[in-house]
Amino acid sequence: MKDNRKRGRAGMRERAAVLAEEPLCRLCLEKGLEVASDVVDHIMPLAWGGSDERHNKQALCTPCHDAKSKTERKLAQRRKIADFD
């Protein structure tokens, strides 16, 4: 699988920059909750062709990120059956 995620120092700096720009979890904010963000998420996953650019990144709290990842894994499994192979 192609992984165009930035590695090493550049990636770390970008992660810190996103968290500094968005100190609160985006998904919690939509629900009116103020929860500190601690994960930088790719809105469109890299594995699905999402870009590693800033516009495709959002800051989330760990529970929101875990829930999003779970949903994406389920969708990916379904898509694999429907669209691939």
CB of 19 to Zn ion, least distance (A): 13
DSSP calls for the chain: -------HHHHHHHHHHHHHH--B-HHHHHTT---B--EEEESS-GGGT---SGGGEEEE-HHHHHHHHHHHHHHHHHHHHHH--
Stretch that binds Zn ion, among 1-9, 10-18, 19-27, 45-53 (CB under 5 A): 19-27
Is residue 25 near Zn ion by the rule CB under 5 A? yes
Asked if 59 is part of the footprint of Zn ion (rule: CB under 5 A), the reply reads no
- Rank residues 30 and 85 by Cβ distance to Zn ion and give the closer one: 30
Task: Point out which span in 5-13, 29-37, 41-49, 66-74 binds Zn ion (CB under 5 A).
Answer: 29-37
